[in-house]
Amino acid sequence: MWGLGVSVSAAANGLMLARLQGGEALAMLVCLFVFVTVAIIFGHNHQQKRMAEAQQHLKQARAEASLGNSREALEAARRAVAAFPNSKKSSPQEVEARAYCVVLEGRLADESRATKSAVPTPEPASQQSKPAPLTPGLRLGEYVLEEPIGEGGFGQVWKAHHAAFGTAAAVKIPNQPRHRDSLRRLGKIQFQLDNPHIVKVLGAELDGDTPYVALEYVAGQDLRRLLETETRLPCGRALGLFQQVLLGMQAAHQAGIVHCDLKPENILVSPDDQVKVTDFELGRARLEAERPLLLSGGLASQVGFGTAAYMAPEQLGGEPVDHRTDIYALGVILFEMLTGERPHPGDKPSELQPDVPAELDEVFARCFARVEKRFNSVEEMLASLSEV
């Protein structure tokens, strides 16, 4: 408002001076100039007010989501999207708000379908009996549970051993019957991939009271925990780990598989820095990927909020995905490994960390970009990294 008052005062003084000098045309020009200035100042203040309002709604959406209030979180996220100023380029906060809307709409739709189908449709006989509680020593098929090593919205992961041979395994067990399809997809897709940088599927039982998929056990931790411990990785170590991720994804893409959910939580790092990619539940075969992912309901019902930061714009928008969707996520992961932060539009790794070579800025830029400007393949990305 101070700028508005100054502008009006300047207009009055300029108009009086112009008239005293006998210049009516000059007076009109002064008025026009000042009024345009006022409009610009007013528009800028209005944009700032809308941005602050949108961020407040987004903050409320995060808070409601953390409490499990999906409907209230969705309403707040929608208010945030509506409040963001209209512009050609969306801010990271607006992208996040739109991702919240997509995920929450899918979650509420799933909950609604589950509620409607629960009463009239009886479950198959194999699902009617109550599964045994998960405890150490419980035998599931060929595997004996030892201890839980992970948990999330999908279910639990237990360390186990083969009952006859004693070999270690990671057994993934869904916490809801509706997650059986995800488990089936994980087993079917990941079983096809035989590569030292992809976690192997050892076995599965999907029709019993307690369905599971047994996976190769990787001692160590996932990349997310590693980054939480060390914040960021030295450039040499980061590139050594990242190139192994690329080799795994190269094999997946050559087999016609798009991961669709690459993030640090799905990258396992052993104590000697051997890397394996896992969790292909959202993976799509090449022909499947030609269909929109979000509109099919697959992604909206299965991803969590943390995933949105690694999702390419076409994935967030429900457009068809392909291998370049994974390349976008790989760029975000590389940036996070090098800097300890998630990227925003215009960021360069070398500007945040002095030990990062400027050549990596170009590698990152060709991932964190519109789909047509990204690397055409993981092979191209590996070739660029070899020149750093």
Distance between CA atoms of 208 and 126, rounded to whole angstroms? 6
Mean pLDDT of all residues in the chain? 80
Q: What residue type is 327 in one-letter code?
A: I
261 is catalytic: yes
| pLDDT 10s digits, 315-353 | 888 888 999 999 999 999 999 999 999 999 999 999 999
Residue-by-residue DSSP string for 245-303: HHHHHHHHHHTTEE-S---GGGEEE-TT--EEE---TT-EEHHHHTSBTTTTTTTTTT-
Q: Which residues pair with 284 in a beta bridge?
A: 258
CB of 156 closer than 8 Å to CB of 146? no
What are 143-193's pLDDT values in tens digits?
999 999 988 667 899 999 999 999 999 999 988 777 788 788 788 888 889
Looking at residue 70, its pLDDT comes to: 72
Q: Where are the beta strands (DSSP E) in the chain?
A: 139-140, 143-151, 155-162, 168-174, 201-205, 212-216, 221-222, 257-258, 267-269, 275-277, 284-285
Of 110, 222, 261, 322, the active-site residue reads 261
Whether 215 contacts 172, CB under 8 Å: yes
Q: In this model, does residue 14 exceed pLDDT 60?
A: no
Q: Specify whether the backbone of 22 is left (phi greater than 0), alpha (psi in -120 to 50) or beta.
A: left
- Given a cut of 60, whether residue 382 has pLDDT beyond it is yes
For residues 137 and 146, what is the distance between their CA atoms, to the nearest angstrom?
6
The 3-state DSSP class for residue 357 equals coil
Name which of 135, 142, 163 is nearest 214 in CA terms: 142
